[in-house]
Amino acid sequence: MSGTLEPKVYGWCPGALRPMMSGDGLVVRVRAPLGKLTVNQARGVARLSQDFGNGLLDISARASLQMRGLREDRYEALIEGLRDLGLLDPDAQAEARRNVLLAPFWQDGDDSHAIATDLSAALTAATGLSLPGKFGFAVDCGEAPVLQDTAADIRIERAGGTLNLRADGAETGKPVTRESAVAEALALARWFLQQGGAPEGRGRMHRLIARRGPPTAHAAPMANARFTAKPGAVPAGTLAAMEFGQMPAATLARLADHGALRLTPWRMLLVEGAASLPPLPGLILDAADPRLQVVACTGAPGCLQALSSTRALARQLAPHVPAGTKLHISGCAKGCACPGTAPLTLTATGQDEFSLIRRGTAADQPVKTRLSAAALRAAPELLKEGS
């Protein structure tokens, strides 16, 4: 088979051409061009997941569609299927480089759409640009930014009516135009490498900026814009959340009956042009659904590193999570589903055994240890402040 198989993540994310071995088979991530699946592509991906995988699809925090449970001996056939759908890059390096997240509310031909199209093409064609595996770009040029809480290393966003280029972690940026944005973004990526941002091939922009600050030309003040996505109607269509970021492939195919799909980094899909959607397995359509307050990683048995299952407990605890807060349930201290801090985190330390961390990451010091899943279910008030 082509591609590289690795049992664990070490600073890179799986792609279609670089699959990763997990507890339930190969994991493949499809980075749809501009984060969009046409109706035909969505139906095709659903069919491939059912034919070659376990029929479940995840959406990643960078808006990639993840297929799981794939058998190694069917990998080549899967790749052929993805190629026929127009969802493959020329090679694994180009696939990794074309890490462009486009704000999902774009309209045909607007700044976001035009810049992301050109940036994707430039990154695919770039030579001598060996960026770290997780290094990514956010194109977020709507009226107000919506991706500032989403991980990215180089951002193109609007502030006070002007387009700006910003190195992640910097409070200032550099004004750019629609025409200059792509060249400036690539120049900033090269600056990152020249400044030693990626020793041994790993590193993130915000760490470099914390050490030496942004380039001197980046002096324009930038605004902070917080955005919280909710399921429901938006100008471009309807947003549907996926329970813990996963849905059956059949649901993806059914959604495609209502329009083309845009992948978002919020564990939601935007169905273009749809005024409403029917209830479907794995979807959350009510903005008040308590499951939206919980994030849970794959856990056992799907992940080789998981010490416990996570999602059954997440479902059971969701109604008990205090209003306005967030619970992160992690199968191990790696914290894949929520790399930053969360108000409440349960980190598995054994099968159905968890530590409770307040206002921290999955790896932080717990305030309680050895909590069994049964004890948490029986006394969910353990999650409340001060308990």
Q: Which residues contact 129 (CB under 8 A, 6 or more apart)?
A: 97, 123, 186, 189, 190, 193
CB-based burial label for 229 (10 Å; 0-12, 13-18, 19+): buried
Member of 33, 335, 343, 366 binding ligand SF4 (CB under 6 A): 335
CB of 252 to ligand SF4, least distance (A): 21
Which CA distances in Å does 191 have to 120, 135, 205, 215, 275? 19, 13, 10, 8, 44
> Which tokens hold the place of 207?
């760490």
Q: Pick the closer one to ligand SF4 by CB: 38 or 54.
A: 54
Q: Pick the closer one to ligand SF4 by CB: 3 or 331.
A: 331
Are the CB atoms for 303 and 297 separated by under 8 Å? yes
Q: Taking CB under 6 A as the rule, does residue 299 contact ligand SF4?
A: yes
Member of 112, 293, 298, 355 binding ligand SF4 (CB under 6 A): 298
Helix 249-256, helix 39-52: angle, nearest 10: 160
Q: Pick the closer one to ligand SF4 by CB: 115 or 300.
A: 300
Q: Taking CB under 6 A as the rule, does residue 338 contact ligand SF4?
A: no
Member of 146, 263, 284, 306 binding ligand SF4 (CB under 6 A): 306
Q: Taking CB under 6 A as the rule, does residue 331 contact ligand SF4?
A: yes
How far apart CA 133 and CA 224 sit, in angstroms, is 27
Are the CB atoms for 166 and 140 separated by under 8 Å? no
CA terminus-to-terminus distance, the chain: 53
CB of 60 to ligand SF4, least distance (A): 11
Span near ligand SF4 by CB under 6 A; candidates 69-77, 120-128, 148-156, 331-339: 331-339
Q: Taking CB under 6 A as the rule, does residue 336 contact ligand SF4?
A: yes
Nearest to 167 by CA among 124, 200, 216, 123: 216
Q: Taking CB under 6 A as the rule, does residue 78 contact ligand SF4?
A: no
Member of 251, 330, 345, 361 binding ligand SF4 (CB under 6 A): 330
Span near ligand SF4 by CB under 6 A; candidates 116-124, 145-153, 260-268, 296-304: 296-304
CB of 244 to ligand SF4, least distance (A): 11
Member of 303, 314, 357, 373 binding ligand SF4 (CB under 6 A): 303
> Which tokens hold the place of 35?
């984060």
CA trace torsion 245, 247, 249, 251 (10° rounding): -120
User: How many residues touch ligand SF4 (CB under 6 A)?
Assistant: 12
Q: Taking CB under 6 A as the rule, does residue 334 contact ligand SF4?
A: yes
Member of 238, 305, 309, 361 binding ligand SF4 (CB under 6 A): 305
How far apart CA 160 and CA 38 sit, in angstroms, is 33
Question: In the bound complex, which residue of the shown chain has the CB atom lying closest to ligand SF4?
Answer: 331
> Which tokens hold the place of 54?
């376990």
Q: Taking CB under 6 A as the rule, does residue 313 contact ligand SF4?
A: no
Site string for ligand SF4, 246-285 (x = CB under 6 A): ----------------------------------------
CA 261, distance to chain mean position in Å, is 16
By CB under 6 A, name the binding residues for ligand SF4.
297-299, 303, 305-306, 330-332, 334-336
